[in-house]
């Protein structure tokens, strides 16, 4: 399989898929016809997951050629990723717990047999090999794989999700973690996905028949509850000079880049990652990021060390403080009618108005700042 890492390739793949196979997607998409034939699905996920092309772009191009009724399934699948992203963004603890859980799970013999493709289940072993070689698996195969991992091999779902993340070019914190949780019955509580031999046989065109599986497994359970956590959106106004972009949001075509003095693309090594990736996956990320840089000249690539020193410079409170001062001034003037009868004159009013405006201007222009530092005795 060819996953050349550029936006141009992504757009070409989309164009070819629209011209040749999209019309049959609704009824052919669930078949995994083997490593050499994936033409019934788009294979766009490595690009969409890095947002080298966005969901909205894909939907717009598709809907300019087809009516929604004829491509509804494809459009719905595209927006599954958006849904998962939003879901996790509102419950970030799910990801933190997943990373924390991994620290205490041992890699025993049963686990090693599975990741080396040495189980009793031939189709599973073939998919392990395919994943390592091609860094991609068909959606239905991912569902069978996760189900066999959890319910037949009885391995912890977290290690399966980690194994996928390590090897998939499209490895995505939201789509991957939440899909594994969904198969296990944790995402929609009590509703799990149990792979059935007849289903594997039908949708692999009889390549794998009579696979011995645990078809009557019960869903997993977990006491942890995840409540909605409001988004802490950063106020993005014109005073921001720098834009920092991470690998899962490379849709720079859609940003107003000329508003920024500096645009940084973070290219992180395994040292800076909580979940370590295979070299091929790191190379894929490096190539897509370099492709963006080639096309958008004002962009700079930064590694984790440069990023750290940039953050120290950027991490200033001045803009927030300017906003606080503006609010204080507005509040002060808003209740002046109540203050003046207490014996305060116009001189007092003007002095405070001047002081609060002067400080606001100072913070805005960054002539004054608020910095926190700690000192230690060595
Ligand atoms: C256990 C498991 C793990 C998964 N891990 C990931 C992952 O790490 N990253 C990832 O992008 N997808 C993941 N998926 C979803 C899905 O399998 C892939 O997006 C899909 O197989 C990609 O192939 P495609 O581009 O040919 O898909 P197509 O069928 O052509 O679909 C077009 C696009 O729609 C989106 N999409 C399709 N199905 C889904 C879905 N079920 N959930 C979310 N988005 C979807 C993708 O962006 C995909 O490129 C996972 C699914 C399962 C069951």
- What is the 45 CA–ligand 1 centroid distance (Å)? 6
As a whole number of angstroms, the distance between CA 279 and CA 97 comes to: 25
- What is the 346 CA–ligand 1 centroid distance (Å)? 66
Q: What is the pLDDT of residues 228-283, one digit of tens each?
A: 988 877 665 566 778 889 999 998 877 778 788 889 999 999 999 999 999 999 99
Which of 171, 179, 281 should be mutated for ligand 1, with most atoms under 8 A from CB? Answer: 179
- Kindly tell me if the per-residue pLDDT of 174 is higher than 90: yes
The token duo for 173 is 């914190």
CATH architecture for the domain at 7-203: Orthogonal Bundle (1.10)
Would you kindly state where each structural domain of the chain is located, as residue ranges? 7-203, 242-314, 318-364
Of 182, 89, 188, 85, the residue nearest 139 (C-alpha) = 182
Q: What is the pLDDT of residues 278-310, one digit of tens each?
A: 999 999 999 999 998 888 878 899 999 998 888
What pLDDT does 372 receive?
Answer: 65
Pocket of ligand 1 (CB under 6 A): 29, 41-45, 48-49, 77-78, 80-81, 84, 138-139, 142-143, 146, 164, 168, 170-172, 175-176, 179-180, 183
- What is the 305 CA–ligand 1 centroid distance (Å)? 33
- What is the 252 CA–ligand 1 centroid distance (Å)? 22
DSSP letter for each residue of 199-249: HHHHHTTTSS-S----TTPPPP------------PPP--TT--EEEE-TT-
- Whole-prediction pTM: 0.86
Cα–Cα distances in angstroms (integers) from residue 207 to residues 66, 118, 196, 253, 361, in the given order: 33, 19, 14, 43, 71
- What is the 136 CA–ligand 1 centroid distance (Å)? 10
As a whole number of angstroms, the distance between CA 139 and CA 170 comes to: 12
**Which atom of ligand 1 sits closest to the CA of residue 48?**
47
- What is the 169 CA–ligand 1 centroid distance (Å)? 11
């Amino acid at each position: 399989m060819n996953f050349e890492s550029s936006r141009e390739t992504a757009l070409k793949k989309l164009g070819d898929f629209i011209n040749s196979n999209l019309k049959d997607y609704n009824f052919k998409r669930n078949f995994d016809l083997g490593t050499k034939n994936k033409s019934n699905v788009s294979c766009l996920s490595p690009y969409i997951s890095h947002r080298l092309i966005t969901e909205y772009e894909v939907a717009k191009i598709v809907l300019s050629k087809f009516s929604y009724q004829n491509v509804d399934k494809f459009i719905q699948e595209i927006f599954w990723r958006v849904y998962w992203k939003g879901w996790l963004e509102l419950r970030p603890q799910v990801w933190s717990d997943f990373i924390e859980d991994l620290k205490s799970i041992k890699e025993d013999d049963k686990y090693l047999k599975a990741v080396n493709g040495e189980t009793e289940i031939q189709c599973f072993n073939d998919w392990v090999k395919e994943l390592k070689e091609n860094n991609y698996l068909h959606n239905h195969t991912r569902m069978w794989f996760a189900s066999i991992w959890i319910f037949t091999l009885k391995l912890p779902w977290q290690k399966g999700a980690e194994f996928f993340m390590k090897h998939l070019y499209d490895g995505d914190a939201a789509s991957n973690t939440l899909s594994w949780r969904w198969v296990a019955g944790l995402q929609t509580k009590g509703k799990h996905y149990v792979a059935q031999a007849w289903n594997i046989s039908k949708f692999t065109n009889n390549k794998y028949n009579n696979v011995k599986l645990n078809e009557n497994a019960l869903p997993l359970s977990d006491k942890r509850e995840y409540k909605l956590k409001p988004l802490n959106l950063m106020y993005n106004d014109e005073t921001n000079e720098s834009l920092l972009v991470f690998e899962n949001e490379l849709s720079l075509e859609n940003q107003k880049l000329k508003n920024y003095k500096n645009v940084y693309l973070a290219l992180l090594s395994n040292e800076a990652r909580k979940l370590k990736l295979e070299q091929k996956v790191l190379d894929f990320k490096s190539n897509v990021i370099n492709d963006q840089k080639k096309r958008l000249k004002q962009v700079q690539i930064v590694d984790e060390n440069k990023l750290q020193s940039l953050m120290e410079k950027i991490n200033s409170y001045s803009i927030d403080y300017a906003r606080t001062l503006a609010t204080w001034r507005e509040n002060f003037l808003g209740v002046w009618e109540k203050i003046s009868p207490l014996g305060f004159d116009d001189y007092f009013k003007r002095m405070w108005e001047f002081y609060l405006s002067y400080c606001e201007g100072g913070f805005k222009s960054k002539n004054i700042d608020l910095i926190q530092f700690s000192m230690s005795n060595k």
